Amino acid sequence: MGYVTITGSNFENEVKNSPVPVLIDFWASWCGPCRMIAPFIDQLADEYDGRVKIGKVNVDEEQDLATLHGIVSIPTMVVYQNGNLINQKNGALPKNEIEKLFNDLL
């Protein structure tokens, strides 16, 4: 299935109302570290399909969502469960560190 593109218009439905935990990658096309971790995000979306929703927010296109989450550097990963922000970490993390952000929620 792959990741879901999160926007201001689908945030409520895709994130707040999700029955499974949601990992959101805040990124931009010009961000080198974001491009570096993109394959990890794609792999996690496939590996955890149905158990964790993986979403991406382009901060250039969705500045309101970035502001709402206090994003000051990218990449930043946030995790939601039951509509609540559970975890947040920024930087180009290795795949296993990204997994640690949500593994205890499964």
Sheet with 53-58: list strands edge to edge. Answer: 4-5, 53-58, 22-27, 76-81, 84-90
Q: Which of 6, 15, 31, 45 is catalytic?
A: 31
For 9: left if phi > 0, alpha if psi spans -120 to 50, otherwise beta; the answer is alpha
Q: Which of 23, 34, 77, 101 is catalytic?
A: 34
Residues facing 80 on adjacent strands:
22, 85
Annotated catalytic residue 34: yes
What is the rounded radius of gyration, in angstroms, for the C-alpha atoms of the chain?
A: 12
Q: Is the peptide bond before 75 cis (omega within 30 degrees of 0)?
A: yes
Annotated catalytic residue 31: yes
Which residues are marked as active site? Answer: 31, 34
